[in-house]
Amino acid sequence: MQTNYLDQLNQPQREAVEYNDGPALVLAGAGSGKTRVLVYKLLHLVNLGYNPSRLMALTFTNKAAREMRSRIAQLIGRDAYKLQMGTFHSIFLRILREHAHLLGYTSDLVIYTTDDTKSKLKKIIKLLNLDDKVYKEGVVHNRISRAKNNLKTAHGYKMDAEQLKLDAKANIPRVYDIYEHYERELKQSNAMDFDDLLLQTNILFRDYPEVLALWRERVDYLLIDEYQDTNFAQYMIARYLMIDKGKIFVVGDDAQSIYSFRGANLENMLRFEQIFKGTRVFKLEQNYRSTQTIVQAAKHVIARNQNQLRKDVFSLGDIGEPIELHEAENGEAEASWVVRTIKNIAFKRKIDYDQFAVLYRTNMQSRLLEQKLLSSGIPFRIWGGRSFFDAKEIKDVLAYFRLMVNERDDEAMYRIINYPKRGIGDTTILKLKQAAMLRKISVMELIREPEAYDLDFNKGTLSKLKNFSLLIDDMREKCREGGDFYKLCEWLINTSGIPTELLLDQTPEGKGRRDNIQEFLSGVDEYARHTLEEGEEPHLAHYLSEISLMTDQDNSADEQEPSVTLMTVHAAKGLEFPHVFIVGLEEQLFPSAMSSEIHELEEERRLFYVAITRAEETCHIGYAKERFRHGKTEFCRPSRFLKELPEDLLKRNAAASDTLRYRENKWGNSRDIADSIPSSFSKQDFMPSSSSPAQRRVFLGRRESDTPEPQHERTGNLRVGGRVAHPRFGEGIIKVLEGQGENIKATVLFDEDGQERKLLLRFANLQALD
């Protein structure tokens, strides 16, 4: 067993480890060595004579628990396996199994997964004759889960008048009824869900004083990791066990509290000193991960939050490079900048792609990044998620599109014949499959003329099949009519009923799915613009081919291949990378449009802090001047968080310098977009565009005025011989500029493939590089 371990700690770390006179709150800044402090605290307690089997250490993830046990095992050997160490849920499950009979369960109780829970709720909704299009199992599960984490049983839920009002307002007034049935069926099945592990442990300690006394006696010291992420139920268990003994040691960083949507309650940490009397606070402020520049930038951002426990974080490492701040013309140009910069850094430093991470606020932002990385041949992986085009809602939309191009695509047919639900069940679909295989025809042919093939269906089923065939035929007829490509795709999606179906799910996940549909349409618009730019007409078949070719590229076949990591900021917590890109720093995106209250904005700021502090060597931040959303080009306002970054720590591209020069603008304090605009722009320029893709299409061959527009007004600072960057084709040199007004074209020789391309400037989004 090590005896010189204290010499391996800095002064604040050592003081925290050695303190043993009461409750301890360790404020551990990002990269300050909190895991080491927890491990050495356990080692120190064992060295003081504490029995390892009477030490309880709680974490949030199995990974964290395994890492901690592995590290302590290297220090104390086999005694590490005597520790009561694990996640909250795993430790509380052991407690519940031992005392299950008191709560009406047996010790071999089973634990329902989230999928099990949703399946059970779905059956209960059907049993109660409730509309499953309104009572979505995901929405109901979300409400029940939140109730359990706030220690509300089904009875308590029913007695909560405020909650019942909220349910009624959401048009789901019988959630309490579903909760009662669910609670009863769990008991009958000798089962608990994950939330029950917290709720039932609280009930056990509350209702059975002898059990509480037993566990107070069994636990000499309680250690909790990531305390800022605890919810009310977890806090109450810690309180039950240690409110009188005071042998509690918690570690966390209030500046990294970013999971309120999961029930995490920052107040547990902020009020720790008030709850556990005699608490001593230790501050771990030295960052061992990042450069001085990165630490100082993050420190200045988080300093704006009022609701926090103050720390003075610092780094004694290299000063490091300035933080790069890049303004892009649009989302596509931003993604191109990310890919271009990654390639440049990797080449110059001779490093692998696994040294890079790209962080974004929402999953929908991954689409452009995925496309640009794929087209550049850079391997990547989606951390803790899936590719944009693997999302169910995107696959559903593509299935409808595939049927428009090829009605014999039976796989697409099977996917959407009953989505959204239209009463065509599994038995009917199986019969259709068998009949189609037997007769060697497509399912669509069967559905159009079921009588001709002697299908044994009742009148109700025949009617449903007929309605579906009419829907598909109407959609295919619309495709034959042609017209504006974006408008056609938008009409197909709306006509399918998918947006209406998704609108019923008001959970954050439901909003994410709706956002994905809008991002998909943004991709449709980009495809249409690029195709027109190259002098061709966009077609659905060609678009589907491009999607198939892109998604079929194997970017993750070799899991050992060094790859760029793409992830949301929430998923990035606890990780670190030498080079980090943070994209989409715009108002309504980061911070989120859903964050209007002060406490919500402070959590968004903490999220930005987490993003910055993932970087070890370099940090690159991007934002776009405009994005295509909801069928129109929307001008974007730089995030209020950008003005909180010290100017002397930044390196900005020319566009960002122009915009951010006006730092006194009230980016974060005004709802008027024009308030944050540099004086070189008019307010009208920065107002959201009302022009739809259809209107843009009208202007392809003519101008509103017969007067030719001078060439210089369109070319700006572009010149023959000048270097430019294109969001799709990369960098190149302008060889020719010709035409006038709407029809000015640039011939550009691109570096990457050596091809010359003639581009219409109004679509090309060329950015001058010199």
Domain extents in the chain: 5-99+199-284, 114-188, 323-379+563-686, 390-520, 699-768
What sign has the CA pseudo-torsion 582, 586, 591, 595? Answer: negative
Q: Do the domains at 5-99+199-284 and 323-379+563-686 have one common CATH topology?
A: yes
When mean pLDDT is compared across 319-328, 351-360, 458-467, 585-594, the lowest value belongs to 458-467
* CATH number 1.10.486.10 is the correct assignment for the domain at 390-520: yes
Kindly provide the residue ranges of all beta strands, DSSP E only, lying in 332-401, ordered along the sequence.
356-360, 380-382
CA angle (693 as vertex; 688, 694 as ends), nearest 5: 125
The stretch 84-106 carries a mean pLDDT of 93
Assess contact for 244 and 212: CB atoms under 8 A.
Answer: no
Amino acid 2: pLDDT: 60
Integer Cα distance of 38 and 86 in angstroms: 13
Question: Which of 212 and 737 is assigned the larger pLDDT?
Answer: 212
Residues with a catalytic annotation lie at 34-35, 225-226, 256, 614
Does the structure show a pLDDT above 70 at 687? no
Q: Which is higher by pLDDT, 754 or 39?
A: 39
| 679: pLDDT strictly greater than 70 | no
Q: What separation, in Å, do the N-terminal and C-terminal C-alpha atoms of the chain show?
A: 63
Cα–Cα distance for residue pair 88/62, rounded to 1 Å:
10
* Digit-coded pLDDT (tens) for 238-271: 999 999 999 999 999 999 999 998 889 999 999 9
Q: Report pLDDT for 213.
A: 96
* 703 band by pLDDT with thresholds 50, 70 and 90: very low
Alpha-carbon torsion angle 204, 82, 218, 33, nearest 10? -90
Mean pLDDT of all residues in 732-749? 83
Cβ(14)–Cβ(4) under 8 Å?
Answer: no
| Structure-token match 């490079």, residue found | 321
Q: Alpha-carbon distance 296 to 51, whole Å?
A: 42
Q: How far is 79 from 21, CA to CA, in rounded Å?
A: 24
362-371, 555-564, 620-629, 655-664: the lowest-pLDDT one: 655-664
From residue 599, give the alpha-carbon distance in Å to each of 88, 271, 275, 284, 659: 27, 16, 22, 25, 28
Q: Residue 462 corresponds to which amino acid?
A: L
Confidence category of residue 557, pLDDT binned at 50, 70, 90? very low
| CA–CA gap between residue 731 and residue 336 (Å, rounded) | 10
Secondary structure element (H or E) that encloses residue 248, with its range: strand 248-252
Q: Round the average pLDDT of the chain to a whole number and report it.
A: 86
Looking at CATH, the fold of the domain delimited by 699-768 is given as: Thrombin, subunit H (2.40.10)
Predicted confidence (pLDDT) per residue in 213-238, tens digit: 999 999 999 999 999 999 999 999 99
366 has a pLDDT exceeding 50: yes
Which alpha helices (H) appear in 534-597, and where do they start and end? Answer: 540-552, 569-572
pLDDT, tens digit, for every residue of 367-399? 999 989 988 989 999 887 778 888 899 999 999
Distance CA 611, CA 358 (A): 10
Q: Which of 115-124, 268-277, 732-741 has the lowest mean pLDDT?
A: 732-741
Residue 760 pLDDT > 80, yes or no? no
- Could you say which of 3.30.70.60, 3.40.50.300, 3.30.230.10, 3.20.20.20 is the CATH number of the domain covering 5-99+199-284? 3.40.50.300
- Asked if 388 contacts 394 with a C-beta cutoff of 8 angstroms, the reply is yes
Contact 241, 215 (CB under 8 A): yes
Q: Give residue 624's pLDDT.
A: 96
3-state secondary structure of 327: strand
Most confidently modeled range among 311-325, 652-666, 682-696: 311-325
**DSSP of 682-711, one letter per residue?**
-HHHHSPP---HHHHHHTTS--SSSSPPPH
CATH of 323-379+563-686, one of 1.10.10.10, 3.40.50.300, 1.20.120.1200, 3.40.50.1110: 3.40.50.300
pLDDT at 659: 59
Give dist(CA 123, CA 132) in Å, integer: 10
pLDDT attached to residue 549 = 64
Question: Which residues have C-beta within 8 Å of that of residue 116, sequence separation ≥ 6?
Answer: 193
Please check the confidence at residue 743 and state whether its pLDDT lies above 90: no
| CA nearest neighbour of 83 among 35, 61, 50 | 50
Q: How far apart are CA 746 and CA 711, in angstroms?
A: 12
Short-list 350, 352, 397, CA closest to 378? 352
Q: Which pTM was predicted?
A: 0.74
CB 338 within 8 A of CB 621: no
